[in-house]
């Protein structure tokens, strides 16, 4: 077992480091990166511990080592998600000028959250005393149970949404015509969003500069203003190509120089506007590049006979040398033929896995074991590697489905995971959610694996049996809530909630389904922007360098695409 840990844990750590380097923005402090990395590492290590724990339970081998890892991983995620991360997140979001003041602001911001959690815990303890119910784990065990209750209840709905949407979206996106329609709408949407962010950033710059100009050098708030001026100068130096435009004053934009708190608000708004603009720019660039590469793939497929089945990219020169034509042919086969078919096959595999998970969740009440994962683990019960693979694959998929739904919710409301532009606040929010749902997902998965007899994994012994994990709801709750999740997933798969939200109209912003649901054709504005970006790239410009004036024309303006001479042909 130690060989397994020595191999898997470094691989997990490496995956966390690579992911953080890819998503973290340039201004994220090192202590935030370290905190998020540690939280992710502890959460992902659970994916390794669960299969190993199941194997050790089946073979009745020694469990001392895995017990230590369980305690370390669980309590690390528990303390991080409920105490450490919210405090750091509030500190990073505060605009105050000293460490002490930022901590005070963070504690004040989290006071309501802690008060609610404390009140719920106090009510729970009082109920236990009134009911004269013995709780084996004491107060600490009760806190664990409440945390697991939150994760199990909300995680079931997150999991159900992901089980439906991930296979469906992969299948739809395998079709070039559909994906091109989606990207055309998304590019137009991202361009308008980028224009709005550009205006907000410009407004913040104009307000900061005007506030600085009207403040005398002897003003008591001048040291705070100097800090804001230095921050603004650094922002503009980092991106000399940024040109503020459209900046305008609001009614209260010149009221920031009244006290230190108003100056902190000005600093916070400037930083937020800066982060929002570059996050929008990163999302826009990613979307445009995907649209341009998809156009290349479509054109190469159309001209396959003329090109001799060689892939021609508009972003690089043709390959030279002896291996050049061979590599071009291999790229053509991959991009134009194999990739599409593999996407469809992958969608079918994930769809089958989703169906198997739903079947296992829906059949917990019958005494007959109909869980395919439970049956598979028992069949290969004598072979360590196969047992761990049989447990690892569905557990990993359940993690992915749950976190996919979390990120979808965050992109609509609170946070966003953007390549190389994710802010400290977004990273901390994501890390809190990842840590919060790791143990409940494990509880749910272990509920699907019927090991038989009185066999209990180390996780169940250390953290409590699944039946005892949820207070007040009764011992049958763990068999009832999966049925609710199954019904919810079927409703999501049939787009029931989407139709209800469309009927309500004003609730459309809360719709989590991809925008593919209501797409009838190519978006003219999006296609114009993509063609303009291709033209600018051919002239040596960077993606997104000249899009703001063009996006401003489309921001609320209906453009006739025929007058732009933009080709709309695509091949399925």
Cβ neighbours of residue 70 closer than 8 Å, sequence gap 6 or more = 49, 53, 458, 459, 462, 463
Dig out the tokens for 412 from the structure. 């609509």
> What is the model's pLDDT at position 412?
56
Helix (H) or strand (E) holding 462: helix 458-463
Distance CA 196, CA 198 (A): 5
CB atoms inside a 10 Å sphere around CB 401: 27
Distance CA 125, CA 58 (A): 36
For the chain of 572 residues, list the mean pLDDT of each consecutive stretch of 10: 68 88 90 92 86 83 72 84 88 91 89 76 67 55 65 84 93 93 92 91 91 89 93 91 72 69 91 92 93 95 91 85 90 94 96 93 77 86 82 91 84 71 89 83 84 75 57 59 84 79 59 53 89 90 83 58 40 38
* Pair 101, 107: CB distance under 8 Å: no
> What is the model's pLDDT at position 552?
73
Among residues 216, 296, 223, the alpha carbon closest in space to that of 263 is found at 223
> What is the model's pLDDT at position 557?
42
Among residues 333, 512, 425, 448, the alpha carbon closest in space to that of 95 is found at 425
Burial of 443 (0-12, 13-18, 19+ CB in 10 A): buried
* Pair 481, 153: CB distance under 8 Å: yes
Distance CA 407, CA 280 (A): 16
Dig out the tokens for 241 from the structure. 């190509």
Note the pLDDT tens digit of each residue in 136-176. Answer: 555 555 666 666 677 777 888 899 999 999 999 999 999 99
Q: Which residue(s) pair with 422 in the sheet?
A: 24
Burial of 224 (0-12, 13-18, 19+ CB in 10 A): buried
Q: Where do runs of H (alpha helix) occur along 60-175?
A: 64-79, 85-93, 99-130, 138-173
Whole-model pTM: value is: 0.83
Percent helix, percent strand, percent coil in the chain, to nearest 5: 75, 0, 25
CB atoms inside a 10 Å sphere around CB 389: 14
């Amino acid at each position: 077992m130690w060989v397994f840990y020595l191999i898997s844990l470094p691989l997990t750590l490496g995956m966390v480091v690579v992911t953080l380097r890819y998503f973290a923005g340039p201004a994220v402090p090192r202590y935030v990166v370290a905190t998020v990395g540690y939280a992710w590492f502890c959460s992902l290590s659970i994916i390794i511990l669960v299969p190993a724990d199941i194997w050790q339970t089946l073979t009745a081998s020694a469990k001392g080592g895995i017990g230590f890892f369980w305690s370390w991983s669980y309590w690390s995620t528990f303390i991080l998600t409920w105490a450490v991360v919210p405090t750091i997140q509030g500190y990073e979001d505060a605009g105050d000028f000293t460490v002490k003041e930022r901590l005070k602001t963070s504690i004040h911001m989290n006071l309501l959250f802690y008060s609610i959690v404390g009140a719920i815990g106090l009510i729970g303890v009082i109920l236990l005393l009134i009911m004269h119910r013995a709780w084996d784990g004491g107060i600490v065990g009760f806190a664990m149970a409440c945390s697991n209750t939150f994760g199990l209840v909300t995680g079931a709905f997150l999991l159900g949404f992901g089980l439906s949407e991930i296979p469906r979206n992969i299948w739809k996106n395998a079709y070039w015509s559909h994906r091109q329609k989606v990207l055309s709408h998304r590019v137009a949407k991202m361009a308008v969003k980028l224009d709005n962010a550009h205006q907000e950033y410009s407004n913040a710059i104009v307000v900061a500069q005007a506030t600085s100009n009207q403040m005398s050098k002897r003003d008591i708030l001048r040291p705070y203003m100097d800090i804001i001026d230095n921050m603004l100068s650094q922002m503009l130096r980092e991106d000399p190509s940024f040109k503020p435009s459209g900046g305008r004053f609001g009614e209260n934009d010149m009221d920031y120089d009244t006290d230190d708190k108003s100056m902190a608000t000005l600093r916070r708004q400037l930083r937020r506007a800066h982060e929002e603009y570059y996050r929008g720019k990163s999302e826009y660039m990613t979307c445009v590049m995907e649209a341009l590469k998809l156009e290349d793939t479509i054109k190469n497929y159309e001209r396959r006979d003329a090109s001799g089945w060689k892939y021609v990219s508009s972003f690089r020169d043709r390959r030279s040398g002896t291996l050049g034509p061979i590599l071009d042919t291999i790229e053509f086969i991959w991009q134009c033929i194999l990739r599409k078919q593999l996407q469809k096959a992958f969608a079918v595999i994930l769809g089958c896995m989703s169906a198997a998970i739903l079947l296992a969740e829906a059949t917990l009440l019958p005494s007959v074991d109909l869980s395919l994962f439970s049956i598979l683990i028992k069949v290969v019960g004598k072979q360590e590697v196969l047992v761990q693979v049989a447990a690892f694959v569905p557990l990993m998929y359940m993690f992915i489905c749950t976190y996919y739904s979390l990120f979808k919710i965050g992109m609509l409301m609170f946070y966003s995971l953007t390549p190389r532009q994710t802010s400290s606040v977004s990273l901390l929010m994501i890390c809190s959610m990842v840590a919060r749902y790791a143990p409940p997902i494990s509880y749910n998965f272990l509920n699907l694996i019927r090991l038989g007899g009185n066999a209990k994994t180390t996780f169940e012994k250390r953290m409590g049996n699944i039946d005892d994990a949820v207070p007040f709801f009764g011992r049958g709750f763990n068999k009832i809530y999966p049925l609710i999740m199954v019904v919810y997933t079927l409703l999501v798969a049939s787009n029931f909630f989407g139709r209800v939200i469309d009927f309500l109209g004003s609730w459309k912003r809360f719709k989590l389904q991809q925008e593919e649901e209501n797409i009838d054709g190519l978006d003219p504005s999006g296609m114009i922007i993509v063609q303009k970006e291709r033209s600018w790239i051919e002239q040596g410009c960077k993606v997104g360098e000249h899009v703001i004036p063009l996006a401003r024309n489309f921001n609320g303006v209906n453009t006739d695409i025929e007058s732009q001479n933009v080709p709309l042909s695509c091949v399925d």
